[in-house]
Amino acid sequence: MQEKDVASFRAQVYLIVRQVPPGRVTTYGQVAAMIAAPAGVDPPKYQRIRAQWAGRAMRHAPADVPWQRVINSQGRISLPAASRPAAIQHMRLEAEGIEFDRVGRVDLRRFGWLGPDSAWLTKHGLLPAPPLGKSGPTQPTLF
DNA sequence: CGTTTGACTACGC
DNA sequence: CGCGTAGCCAAAC
């Protein structure tokens, strides 16, 4: 792993997150799944750590990245629960129409982003990511 | 320089 | 479902 690979990985994370439309959320894992493993990184190993990499990358997200639309695979905000940033994220998402259940969870089958279209993916050299939500294709039920 | 921590997940009970 | 655990590792202490 080189320094430039880290920068490249982060750049790809931001590029992808910028595509998530208001009112939808994605997960660290989904974003990371669209990014190919850097040269020299064992694929299986990469698969186990890429989501965490995406999470770490989000800490350095530029202001123009809609970071609030990235949550964890459980549909929950991953920032420290009582923190200010977590409150802001929750507030911003609700302002976009995202609903949280009683225990602060978002239904990924309803609000999960389906991902960019394949043309966009290939154009940027990214990989298609599996659908969000527990199983099967997600059924967008906005409105 | 050793230890702890954390914007992750999948999996087992 | 909720909760604990095992992988993993860059940063912060």
Which residue segments constitute the domains of chain A, with CATH numbers given?
3-123 (1.10.10.10)
Q: Strand B and chain A: which residues 59-78 have CB closer than 7 Å?
A: 59, 61, 67-68, 70, 72-74, 78
Report phi then psi at A59, rounded to 5: -65, -25
Bases of chain B within 7 A of a CB of the protein: 6-10
Its pTM stands at 0.92
Measuring alpha carbon to C1', the residue closest to nucleotide B8 is A52
Residue-wise pLDDT tens for chain A (143 aa)?
677 777 899 999 999 999 999 999 999 999 999 999 998 899 999 999 999 999 999 999 999 999 999 999 999 999 998 899 999 999 999 999 999 999 999 999 999 999 999 999 999 999 999 888 765 444 544 43
- Residue A78 CA, nucleotide C11 C1', distance (Å): 18
Which parts of chain A fold into alpha helices (H)?
3-17, 28-33, 43-58, 84-95, 108-111, 118-123
For residue A57, which nucleotide's C1' is closest to its Cα?
B7
